[in-house]
Amino acid sequence: MKKALIIIVLIVSAIGLLMNLDVVLGMVVNSLIFMLVLAAIFYGIYYFFILTEDQRKYKKALRKAKRKHRKK
């Protein structure tokens, strides 16, 4: 009797999970997109308003040098 009750509870919970899976996945994807946009905004503020012109030129040259050495 206990096994049958446990199996029924598991089946009902699995059906409920499958019914709400699209909502849960939608919320996860929505949160990930929001975090990526927020990170891009913070990086843009950091890059354009906090770094000086010389620091930006140095970062650009560093990225260029890394790309050049990676190809070899």
pTM greater than 0.85 (yes/no)? no
- Over residues 30-71, the pLDDT tens digits come to 999 999 999 999 999 998 899 888 998 998 899 999 988 887
Contact yes or no for 16/23 (Cβ under 8 A):
no
The predicted structure's pLDDT at residue 39: 97
pLDDT class of 72 with cuts at 50, 70, 90? low
52-70 core/surface letters (b: 16 or more CB in 10 A; e: else): eeeeeeeeeeeeeeeeeee
The predicted structure's pLDDT at residue 51: 86
CA gap 64, 72 in Å, rounded: 13
The predicted structure's pLDDT at residue 28: 92
What are the sequence ranges of the domains in the chain?
2-71
H-assigned helices in the chain: 2-45, 53-71
